[in-house]
């Protein structure tokens, strides 16, 4: 609607009259604030095995070092599914969700910058990383190499008087007193932000693999398992310029998607009997060569035992599939490790520095046309969180996400 000079003069006159006589403003209605904060928040609280309840709690006070975030979305992790199914961490009742992101709606006066030193303000989009408790080696801007294994995360905290401890909610309170770390990611869209946490796991794994000195630009690489973790692994390798990648899985749809994310070829293990035959199939796919490097992403002990048959003498291996205790794997130390002089490294979650690298990875992946956001195949509202977890357990689709209205 166009506004002429006469209209502007009338508006200014009304405001000036109102300053002298407030009753003159009676007919002027201020626009409603889109950032109004409700008096209560809703949390999907896991109160029993395989049972979330949507609980309503009073909105907590925001301290001088705290941030109140309106949750926009959160991915469902395998850790969430394990907690939902068997409560291995003994946390019930618990507010889950650690792959979340949202918008700052209120923050304490002491909050000025994120954990990388980037300015933050109300309206910015953020993600959380680790919570360091009483650790003198961690400072606000220290993107060091300490693994998250020595820290906590939002979404796996015991319930307390605040209750807003996980991203499966419509609000979450980020508490500075806990030693929280967070990042301003306003330059990424929602789907990309939901993928940050699992992508950081693979950025960390590839950085661990690079320490062996074996993973190079022209390496032959096998990725075993094409769930979300294996698929992201392929995408990370592809953004690094590695092209000779073979994906191994038993699901043809996932193998086809692996090729869209950067795998050159694929092997369906359902077509082969035993580790020797499967290893020979991978060797044939690499034109008569075994892999220089392998990434097992399954968490299956039998799969781990098989992977050595796919790696050349002097090759490398980064195991990252066992984010929980998946059982013992049986290998022959002489034939599988010593005689082949395999260099083996383990990888578990990530560091603060890996998070920052992940932001650039997601931008680079999009720039070269990798369909990263298609990893999110199912989106559920918060009130359907039980259905979301059941979908995850049924292995339908790939990445499942809770997205608030």
pLDDT, residue 151, reads: 75
Q: What is the pLDDT of residues 204-213, one digit of tens each?
A: 999 999 999 9
Task: Please name which of 306, 312, 265, 309 lies closest in space to residue 291, comparing C-alpha atoms.
Answer: 312
- pLDDT more than 70, % of the chain: 87
Task: Please name which of 168, 135, 138, 143 lies closest in space to residue 55, comparing C-alpha atoms.
Answer: 168
pTM above 0.85, yes or no: yes
Q: What is the pLDDT of residues 373-390, one digit of tens each?
A: 999 999 999 999 999 999
Q: What is the pLDDT of residues 44-58, one digit of tens each?
A: 999 999 999 999 999
pLDDT, residue 130, reads: 86
What is the pairing mode between strands 67-76 and 399-403? antiparallel
Distances (CA, A) of 149 to 15, 247, 324, 347: 58, 29, 12, 11
Average pLDDT, the chain: 89
Residue 279 has pLDDT above 90, yes or no: yes
Q: Where do the domains of the chain lie? A: 1-30, 43-187+388-403, 202-346
pLDDT, residue 104, reads: 98
Cis peptide before 93 (omega within 30 of 0): yes
**In which band, very low, low, confident or very high, does the pLDDT at 132 lie, cut at 50, 70 and 90?**
confident
Task: Please name which of 162, 174, 153, 163 lies closest in space to residue 43, comparing C-alpha atoms.
Answer: 163
What number does CATH give the domain 43-187+388-403? 3.90.180.10
Residue 360 has pLDDT above 60, yes or no: yes
> How far apart, in whole angstroms, are the C-alpha atoms of residue 304 and residue 402?
31
pLDDT, residue 133, reads: 63
**In which band, very low, low, confident or very high, does the pLDDT at 134 lie, cut at 50, 70 and 90?**
low
Residue 146 has pLDDT above 80, yes or no: no
Mean pLDDT of 295-305: 95
pLDDT, residue 352, reads: 84
CATH class in words for 202-346: alpha beta
What is the pairing mode between strands 376-380 and 399-403? parallel
Mean pLDDT of 134-138: 53
Q: What is the pLDDT of residues 68-127, one digit of tens each?
A: 999 999 999 999 999 999 999 899 999 999 999 999 999 999 999 999 999 999 999 999
pLDDT, residue 405, reads: 86
């Amino acid at each position: 609607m166009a506004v002429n000079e006469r209209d502007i003069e009338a508006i200014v006159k009304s405001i000036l009259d109102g300053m002298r006589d407030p009753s003159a403003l009676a007919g002027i209605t201020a626009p409603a604030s889109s950032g109004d904060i409700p008096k209560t928040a809703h949390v999907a609280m896991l109160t029993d095995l395989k049972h979330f309840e949507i609980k309503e709690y009073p909105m907590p006070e925001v301290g001088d070092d705290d941030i109140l975030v309106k949750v926009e979305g959160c991915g469902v992790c395998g850790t969430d599914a394990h907690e939902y199914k068997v409560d291995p961490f003994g946390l019930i009742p618990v507010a889950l969700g650690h792959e979340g992101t949202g918008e700052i709606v209120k923050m304490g006066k002491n909050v000025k910058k994120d954990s990388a030193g980037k300015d933050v303000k109300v309206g910015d989009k953020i993600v959380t990383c680790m919570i360091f408790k009483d650790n003198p080696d961690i400072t606000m801007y220290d993107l060091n190499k300490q693994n998250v294994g020595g820290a906590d995360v939002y979404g796996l905290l015991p319930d307390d008087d605040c209750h807003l401890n996980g991203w499966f909610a419509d609000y979450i309170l980020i508490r500075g007193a806990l030693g929280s770390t967070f990042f301003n990611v306003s330059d990424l869209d929602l789907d990309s932000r939901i993928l940050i946490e699992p992508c950081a796991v693979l950025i960390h794994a590839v950085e661990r693999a690079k320490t062996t000195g074996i993973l190079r630009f022209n390496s032959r690489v096998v990725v075993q398992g094409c769930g979300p973790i294996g698929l992201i692994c392929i995408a990370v390798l592809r953004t690094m310029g590695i092209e000779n990648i073979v994906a191994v899985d038993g699901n043809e749809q996932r193998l086809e998607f692996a090729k869209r994310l950067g795998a050159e070829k694929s092997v369906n293990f359902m077509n082969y009997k035993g580790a020797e035959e499967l290893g020979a199939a991978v060797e044939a796919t690499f034109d008569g060569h075994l892999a220089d490097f392998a990434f097992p992403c399954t968490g299956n002990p039998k799969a781990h035992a098989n992977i050595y048959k796919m790696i050349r003498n002097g090759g490398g291996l980064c195991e990252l599939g066992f984010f929980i205790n998946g059982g013992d794997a049986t290998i022959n130390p002489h034939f599988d490790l010593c005689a082949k002089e395999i260099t083996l490294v383990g990888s578990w979650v990530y560091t603060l520095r890996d998070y920052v690298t992940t932001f650039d990875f997601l931008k680079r992946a999009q720039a070269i046309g990798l369909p990263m956001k298609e990893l999110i195949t199912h989106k559920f509202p918060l009130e359907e969180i039980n259905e979301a977890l059941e979908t995850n357990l049924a292995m339908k689709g790939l990445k499942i996400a809770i997205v608030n209205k």
